Amino acid sequence: MKPDIEELPKRYTDNPPEGLTSKDIRNMSEDELPDMDYFLNEDDLFADEAGVKGFCIF
């Protein structure tokens, strides 16, 4: 496990996101935790232009 990934279970077990319990977090795999963290912290993930920077149509 990477050092930043090692702290995710503790962070989310102490304060689980809405709809999840501490038990859910404890049962997540090493792959699921970073994915959940990414989606919880991504700004406006489902916006039409998410991830598009500097693209113009003339």
Amino acid identity at 34: P
Give me the pLDDT at residue 24, please. Answer: 93
Amino acid identity at 51: G
pLDDT band at 40 (very low <50, low <70, confident <90, very high): confident
Give me the pLDDT at residue 8, please. Answer: 85
Q: Reply yes or no on whether the pLDDT at 11 is more than 80.
A: yes
Nearby residues of 26 by Cβ (< 8 Å), 6 or more positions away: 9, 13
Query: CA 32 to CA 57: how far, in whole Å?
Result: 37
pTM: 0.60
Query: CA 40 to CA 9: how far, in whole Å?
Result: 14
The answer to whether 4 touches 16, Cβ cutoff 8 Å, is: no
Query: CA 12 to CA 3: how far, in whole Å?
Result: 15
Give me the pLDDT at residue 7, please. Answer: 86
Residue ranges per structural domain of the chain: 5-46
